[in-house]
Structure 1
Amino acid sequence: MSADHPTLPPVRLRADAELARDALAAPLLVQAVRLARWAGPDTRVDAGGELVDEQLAEAVEVLGLADEEDAEILAADAWRLAVDTGLVDVEDGEETEEGVTPGRAAAGENLALVTGGSPQDVLALWLDGFDAVFADAVAPILDDLDAIVGDDGEIDFEALDWDPEVEADFLEGVLGNLYLLTVSEGGAGEGPVPLPALAASMVVPADMGEPTDDVLEQVSDAMMRLDEQFRLLEPIGLVEYQPVDEALMAEEGEEPAPPVDDEDVSRYGMVRLTPLGMYGVRARMLEAGVDAPAVGDLAEKGADALLDGIAGYPEAAAREETAAWLTGRDAVTAARELLAAARGADAASPLRRLHCQQTLSLVGTEAEPAVREVLDDPELGGLARVWLAERGASDVPAPSEAMIFWLAIDTIAAQLGADGDLQELQELIEGLTGRHSGFFETAWRVEHPATAEVLEAMGRLHRDKAVAKDARKAAFKARSRSGS
């Protein structure tokens, strides 16, 4: 997987035990296990470790594929997966002057993991299977062997016009986009994604308006390649796939044009990642160095990691992550850790304090002693007063004017850092200026590192032109005072 993506939204993964059950139910792995249990001292393979013809016919029977049109191909695929995942060990046959001496096969040590391994063992086995099927999916299509086999009987790979790295990068990019569409708020979620849209996401430039005929042809080419690849990836349990409707092909080998309306889009292929597929694609991303978090990753880490980690999370995921972090922790100790982690004057500190406040909202009143400890803290005192007031606590000291204005600047800075809803931010800004007459006369003097930035933002966002002008003047004063 490419590491080009920034930090992705967190994914909600199922428990390892449930994913392991899904893995063991994947049709191709089921077939591979069945062949591994069938393999024995009399099972013969050729020089490449493939079943010899007579044994392949037996494998077809073992798998109950006799009535399938591509029975031998399907059996060979299952055998290859069994070998690639260590479910079967093979001793390859040897080519001699007299002919080929068949090799032998036997159950591999990984077969024991199917019934006796931990969920993590099973998932590791499945990931090996996913890697093997992925490699098959990006392999060249050998439609005309005569055209690419040289006089020496070897395949001329240059004649294939096939670059394995380019092919792998393309499919990884497609799976990455499918993953992103699944985990993003407002994306596909658990619903299927039309194949044309997925192909277009890899082919059509982001800044292109109406696609050209050449680009549309590239989209069609990509669709047909993806149709073949998803047909291979479905049996390993990675995706659920509705293939391109063959009736759309005017004649054999002709590629369909992309759909022109939403009514027939499903006929052009629909694909969704399964929960097991989400696990598998994320595992490849992590291996490639992509930051692909999962809800629950931060549960055992410190408060500083929590507050920094959820900075880019959607609201629902952040709340779920913080609830998991609080589970099993003493309320007072947790509150002290959160408040300590929220301190700071760096650019990310306002957002940390906002997430600290939101996390503390999930903590019961038993955290009150820890919150009262920071009432005199210039950075946390306002936050503490809000928390106590919301819980109807008594004897909450009134904040000073300096604390009120510092908290106002800090709150807006946090909202700017969170890239939240624009209308909500405008309402916050207009509410603050409406409640405090002469707001900007005091605000530009606030000793907060984000004061000038916040006032400039208020000047851009306030819908009253006169107030917006006052905000810009105040921002200029703040910058002049700080020398920045």
Structure 2
Amino acid sequence: MANNPSGPDAYSASAGDFRDFGDPGDPGDFGPDAFDDADADDYAAADIKEALGLPDSLPPIRLPSLPELAAQARKAPLPGQLAALAAWIGEDGRAVTDDGDLTRADFAAATSALGVQAADLVFLWEYALAVEWLEFDGAAEDRVMPGETAQSWAADQDETVFDAWSATLAAVLGETLEVTLPEPGLQGLDFQGQPMALAILLFLARREGLSVADFTEILWENSSADLPEREAARARERWVARYGEPARLLLDKLTELAAVRESDDTVRLTPLALAALHEQLVEAGIDIPLLPPTAAELTGAQLLAMAEGVDDDEFEAEADAWVAARGADHGARELLALAAAGGPGERMLAVAAVTRIGAGAGQAWRDNLDVPQLRAYAKAALAGLADGEDVPAGLQPLPADVAWVTTDLLALACDEEYPDPEEIAASLREAVPAGQEAAVFEMMWRAPHPDVLDVLNHIGRYHPDKQVAKAARTAAHKAAGRPAPGGR
């Protein structure tokens, strides 16, 4: 690894090193022990999926076309600087020291030629060597030459530019926090692999993003996981005093690469980074469907599936465009058919999209008043369309309607893998007036909702209020003893 005399020492780390991942179900679960005994050169793409405990499939994603991605990559400052460094090295190459560094004179000349600070050149040098913007010439390794990535960038074809950009992303994630050799007493901090883990977490959280505070705390928590709490706090304080905040450094370098953007203190991946990580995760064996370029080309199922990967405003815009392309009545009927066949999440998304259609969905709602999964929602929608008049006869909600909608709402908070008592309590407060929990549970167990037993059991097991939990368990016991539909 290069040791530039004008900059800090650096670790020898592969830019493609995917060490130290844990379970991504909770941001704090990106643990440091997944690959401790493995050699970095032995890692395969599939290791990402196994080590992070990623599912077999993730929500679909829409990505820009390759020409659009390449155009964005060409505007990123960091690859331009790396290309300039490779051009400065020249086809004849430059001699390096025994440690593989530029000489002092060449280092000073390079900073001047590139118009960068000495500290910035240290990072550029490490990125360049990590992913073959530069490469050593021959067995002697006493000279560096422009490498394959520099040639790909210079070829200026959309595919080669995107490939070079993706390689640079790997370098930034793999090298940025490894270039500073910790002083004695800080060796317990281990940042290796954590930037890539955070990038995958940002991909998973692409709808909400991560706050800068969460991004920072996750990085510190996992890099100091092997240290006692007090020792970790002291190491963090000393590190920041000497080297600065590592999360800020990483975010700044990713911003220079056009891989992340920050807005309202929230970090999100750019389309470039989403495309590069999508490619890598697909290679790891994870199914992440690509959506058609326009809303008009989506199926109804694709429209609902994309909701998990976009924010509310984006989903509403997609849904509106999708309905406009199909016509109000046709679009409403397709979405309501999916709502009836789907689970609570899909049903509530579809209902929300159809409700936005307004009067144009009126006949579709009326035709679904006898569908058990939709009756409660149809009544509410049609009552809303009455526009302040008295609710027409037959649209008043019955106890079974209240029970169905309540079960749908609560089912969304029932996560068996990562149960959260506070989330369950909050969802119940939102769905049921305080003091009426037992009465609503009594209505729920009588309703034919397929998820009611699971929901009641979940509340009974995890709700923090003992009385509420007991009432849910009582109702669950009654639901379990109820004859199944059809007498089964």
Band of TM-score, shorter chain = 0.5 to 0.7
1:6 pairs with 2:9: no
- The 1:235–1:431 alpha-carbon spacing in structure 2 relative to 1, beyond 3 Å, is closer
Is the CA contact (8 Å cut-off) linking 2:328 and 2:361 kept in structure 1? yes
Corresponding residue of 1:84: 132
- CA shift for structure 1 position 172: 2.7
Separation in 2, partners of 1:281, 1:225: 29
Corresponding residue of 2:332: 335
Corresponding residue of 1:360: 354
2:432 paired residue among 418, 429, 432: 429
2:196 paired residue among 163, 172, 183: 172
With structure 2 as the length reference, what TM-score do the two structures score?
0.59
Q: Size of the alignment, in residue pairs?
A: 410
- CA shift for structure 1 position 412: 0.8
Corresponding residue of 2:300: 303
Map 1:383-394 → 2, pairs under 5 A: 383-392=377-386
Is the CA contact (8 Å cut-off) linking 2:59 and 2:288 kept in structure 1? yes
The structure having more radius of gyration, on CA atoms, is 1
Opposite residue 233 of structure 2, the aligned amino acid is L
1:478 pairs with 2:479: yes
Is the CA contact (8 Å cut-off) linking 1:452 and 1:478 kept in structure 2? yes
- CA shift for structure 1 position 220: 4.7
Gaps of 5+ in 1: 145-160, 242-269
Q: Deviations over 1:74-106 (max 9, x none)?
A: 77457647x725xx7x793565xxx97997889
Opposite residue 341 of structure 1, the aligned amino acid is L
Corresponding residue of 1:129: 168
1:202 pairs with 2:222: yes
- CA shift for structure 1 position 61: 4.8
Separation in 1, partners of 2:62, 2:253: 20
1:374 counterpart SS class: coil
Gaps of 5+ in 2: 1-17, 28-57, 414-422
Corresponding residue of 1:29: 79
Corresponding residue of 1:63: 114
Map 1:177-188 → 2, pairs under 5 A: 184=208, 188=211
1:381 paired residue among 366, 372, 375: 375
Q: Deviations over 1:245-270 (max 9, x none)?
A: xxxxxxxxxxxxxxxxxxxxxxxxx9
- CA shift for structure 1 position 338: 1.2
Separation in 2, partners of 1:481, 1:142: 66
Map 1:400-415 → 2, pairs under 5 A: 404-415=398-409
Deviating more after overlay: 31-40 vs 359-368: 31-40
1:215 pairs with 2:237: no
Separation in 1, partners of 2:80, 2:22: 33
Is the CA contact (8 Å cut-off) linking 1:175 and 1:281 kept in structure 2? no
Q: Deviations over 1:222-279 (max 9, x none)?
A: 75788568647744625999xxxxxxxxxxxxxxxxxxxxxxxxxxxx9967757964
Is the CA contact (8 Å cut-off) linking 2:366 and 2:378 kept in structure 1? yes
Is the CA contact (8 Å cut-off) linking 1:26 and 1:235 kept in structure 2? no
Map 1:38-49 → 2, pairs under 5 A: 42-43=92-93
Opposite residue 154 of structure 2, the aligned amino acid is L
Opposite residue 137 of structure 1, the aligned amino acid is T
- CA shift for structure 1 position 376: 2.9
Separation in 1, partners of 2:464, 2:248: 50
Q: Deviations over 1:318-366 (max 9, x none)?
A: 545644654634323322221121224xxx6233322221111222433
Separation in 1, partners of 2:425, 2:214: 29
Separation in 1, partners of 2:483, 2:293: 40
Is the CA contact (8 Å cut-off) linking 1:133 and 1:233 kept in structure 2? no
Opposite residue 168 of structure 2, the aligned amino acid is G
Separation in 1, partners of 2:191, 2:471: 57
Separation in 2, partners of 1:103, 1:203: 35
Separation in 2, partners of 1:392, 1:180: 41
CA-based RMSD: 6.0
- CA shift for structure 1 position 127: 1.7
1:446 pairs with 2:443: no
Opposite residue 302 of structure 1, the aligned amino acid is T
- CA shift for structure 1 position 162: 11
With structure 1 as the length reference, what TM-score do the two structures score?
0.59
Opposite residue 372 of structure 2, the aligned amino acid is P
- CA shift for structure 1 position 367: 3.1
Identity over the aligned pairs, expressed in percent? Answer: 24
2:370 counterpart SS class: coil
- CA shift for structure 1 position 126: 1.7
1:111 paired residue among 133, 140, 154: 154
1:370 paired residue among 333, 339, 364: 364
1:375 counterpart SS class: coil
Is the CA contact (8 Å cut-off) linking 2:291 and 2:302 kept in structure 1? no
2:482 counterpart SS class: helix
Corresponding residue of 1:256: none
Separation in 1, partners of 2:359, 2:244: 55
Separation in 1, partners of 2:25, 2:294: 19
Opposite residue 372 of structure 1, the aligned amino acid is R
- CA shift for structure 1 position 202: 1.6
- CA shift for structure 1 position 70: 5.9
Q: Deviations over 1:136-182 (max 9, x none)?
A: 336576799xxxxxxxxxxxxxxxx999xx75433334555677899
- CA shift for structure 1 position 421: 8.0
Separation in 1, partners of 2:78, 2:308: 40
Corresponding residue of 1:250: none
- The 1:426–1:134 alpha-carbon spacing in structure 2 relative to 1, beyond 3 Å, is closer
Is the CA contact (8 Å cut-off) linking 2:383 and 2:392 kept in structure 1? no
